[in-house]
Amino acid sequence: MHDAAHSRSNNFDALRLIAALLVIWGHQFAIMGQPVPLMWHNEPGAVGVVLFFAISGYLVTISWQADPHLLRFAARRALRIWPGLCAAVLLCAALLGPLVSTLPATDYWLHPLTREYFANLWLDTRYALPGVFGGNPFPSSVNGPLWTIPLEVTCYAALAVLGMLGLMRLRPFAPLLLLALTATLQWRYSPPPGQPMPAWSPLLQYAIMFALGASLACWRAVWLPRRLLTAAVLVALLLLLRLAGPALIAGQVPLLILATLGVIWGTASTPVLHRAGRWGDFSYGLYIYAFPVQQLIVWAYANQLGFATALGLSLGGALLLAALSWHLLEKPALAFKPRRAGPTGAAVAA
């Protein structure tokens, strides 16, 4: 059966946009100091990030399988992640910070927090800039979502290591991907000495979702021809969990099912929605630019706007930045992605 992941005629662009909107919508409550609603006992932003990681695990694994070359794989991942990340970091530190900081310009630029903020460029996450958003209901955090990018890159690295070991060619070893990734993240994000490791930290949760997507990619020859039947069984299971009571609903199993359903729906081609990316792939830009825009709107209007108005302004500003970023920076950078010679290379480029 035709593998929809290798073509643009699928729902992945639409699914990524939905995930980004969930993140923005969920953050809007927190940024305005309002209670955050829950979806399956999780914040909407967490559900959006879960979808992002599952999709990424699926598509990046297919990319590796199509071209298992370490340097080309690393170059493709770097060209997708760093141009937008650099722009987001530089815009916040060099433009937004001086504009809204309570410190004089000289003090702002000489402050240690300003220098430390640039560590985001090499994935050492920093949230605060001096005198920026300190009076907001969600104080001092300039771009909160950046913390997930080092986690994503760590997942890429773990996937590449498994690929170099040859495990990615052996479908029965797909579950090892889950174990290896979670073990890697358990070590990479271990708590300080004396503090217990959470039973299920968000970091571990997102790594498992990436591994879930990767495992679905390894086993797609089994479930993809039976996509509708697989989805129907999962929906039935999800409804059963809903009827079973809060104890099961509050667990992580529903998120695993939702992520799996997301990947399955992503491989389909739904009318209209399969063309969600015809003007550009704005999902990553929405993810990395929205939070500073949301904080700026709250700061500019002293948090006096209604929720819908603030969210609308934030979405408009974030979408504008995402579109500019895609067409002026991200898309041109992707033109330098290395390609494997032959038809397989064209599939990887897509």
The pLDDT of residue 158 is 87
Instruction: Give the residue among 216, 165, 162, 210 at the shortest CA–CA distance from 185.
Output: 210
Radius of gyration of the chain (CA): 21
The answer to whether the Cα torsion of 88, 49, 73, 154 is positive or negative is positive
* Rounded Cα distance, 128 and 133, in Å: 9
Which DSSP category does 336 fall into? Answer: T
Instruction: Give the residue among 71, 73, 78 at the shortest CA–CA distance from 61.
Output: 73
Determine the length of the chain.
Answer: 350
The pLDDT of residue 2 is 39
Instruction: Render 91-108 in DSSP notation, one character per residue.
Output: HIIIIIHHHH-SS-HHHH
One digit per residue, pLDDT tens: the chain, 350 residues? 334 344 468 999 999 999 999 999 999 999 999 999 988 778 899 999 999 999 999 999 999 999 999 999 999 999 999 999 999 999 999 999 999 999 999 999 999 999 999 999 999 999 999 999 999 999 989 999 999 999 999 899 988 988 888 877 767 676 667 667 767 766 666 665 555 555 556 778 888 899 899 989 988 999 999 999 999 999 998 888 777 665 555 567 888 899 999 999 999 999 999 999 999 999 999 999 999 999 999 999 999 999 999 999 999 999 999 999 999 999 999 999 998 776 555 555 55
For 282, residues 6+ apart whose C-beta sits below 8 A from its C-beta are: 17, 20, 319, 322, 323, 326
Which DSSP category does 6 fall into? Answer: G
CA dist 197 to 31, 133, 185, Å?
28, 31, 12
* Rounded Cα distance, 281 and 239, in Å: 33
Instruction: Give the residue among 126, 80, 112, 89 at the shortest CA–CA distance from 334.
Output: 80
Half-sphere exposure of 195 (CA within 13 A, CB side): 5
The pLDDT of residue 3 is 41
The answer to whether the Cα torsion of 297, 299, 303, 305 is positive or negative is negative
Q: Which residue has the tokens 């939702």?
A: 258
The pLDDT of residue 131 is 96
The pLDDT of residue 205 is 80
- For residue 344 the two structure tokens come to 């397989």
The pLDDT of residue 37 is 93
The predicted model scores a pTM of 0.90
The pLDDT of residue 340 is 76
CA dist 175 to 180, 182, 208, 217, 246, Å?
9, 11, 11, 11, 28
